[in-house]
Amino acid sequence: MSENVEKIKCLIIGSGPAGYTAAIYAARADMKPIMYTGMQMGGQLTTTTEVDNFPGYAEGTDGPAMMEDLKKQAERFGTEVRFGLATKVELNPEIGGKHKVIVDETKEIEAATVIISTGATAKYLGLESEMRLIGGGVSACATCDGFFYKGQDVVVVGAGDTAAEEATYLANICRKVTILVRKDYMKASKAMQHRVNKTKNIEVLYNTEVDEVLGTNVVEGVRAVNNLTKEKFNIDVTGVFIAIGHTPNSELFKGVLEMDETGYLITKGKTTKTNMPGVFAAGDIQDKEYRQAVTAAGTGCMAALDAERYLGALE
């Protein structure tokens, strides 16, 4: 394998708004980036049917179309986009050292800089009906999709700060928000619980879980179950927001790059620099606060600029 090592200036691992934006900037800086998309080309946004909050799309667009636009733009400047999965990394702690990345367990890349944009995966309940209706009324992002449910009734599933934040955000848009909490208490901070309790159009149902999401092509309701009494009942809603957290796609870098207790990569200050020289992180892999396409794109730009400056300092 070492006899056929491909030596490049810039390797981008993962696609999506962060990866594609990094590719656009890196290509324009003549870094000749090569991107490996991962198994979900375009990232999480490819599961979103409508995107109305990304600048430049006056009439809105859909996630897959937007990712295709970004891909074409990156390719127009010379990015080589490849479908493949990074399966092993050997990162060099020396300034100017080369980083080795194995793709699909066979292809070896030696890169002067690496931009990681592998994102985070939203956690779902795992129900067949829920998975079938993702993009048809089931969402994991209220700030992304809440606008489409203006004046309607929705359900939020979760008990932590994220669920409380999503519910209070939706309460400003929707007619009624019902929070389903699996236990007899919320895990959210007291401040967030006070906000929920003070919001008149939010109802919290404790010891309640989703038994099934109702609807054929779009959400028409939820069949809920009280996990103490086993009583089942229907809630008429058009939207179901799953707010039980995200899992950063950082398994490949455990023990190599600094990350927090939940697996998000840690970057230095206001940069995208990781603890390894020449390795940068952009998008949801290092951002658990905002998780928006536009903020991911912004950090993708930053990562490419940081990588360009890193290479410039070596000359």
The catalytic residue positions are 141, 144-145
Q: Max Cα separation, the chain?
A: 70
Yes or no: say if 274 and 306 are a contact pair by the CB < 8 Å rule. no
3-state secondary structure of 255: coil
Three-state secondary structure along 277-307? CCEEECHHHCCCCCCCHHHHHHHHHHHHHHH
DSSP 25-87: HHHHTT---EEE--SSTTGGGGG-S-B-SSTT-TT-B-HHHHHHHHHHHHHHTT-EEE---EE
Yes or no: say if 106 and 11 are a contact pair by the CB < 8 Å rule. no
Question: What is d(CA 71, CA 285) in angstroms, rounded to the nearest whole number?
Answer: 19
Yes or no: say if 19 and 120 are a contact pair by the CB < 8 Å rule. no
Half-sphere exposure of 223 (CA within 13 A, CB side): 11
Yes or no: say if 28 and 309 are a contact pair by the CB < 8 Å rule. no
State the amino acid at position 154 in one-letter form: V
Residue of 131, 147, 102 whose CA lies nearest to 11: 102
Residue of 81, 66, 71 whose CA lies nearest to 293: 66
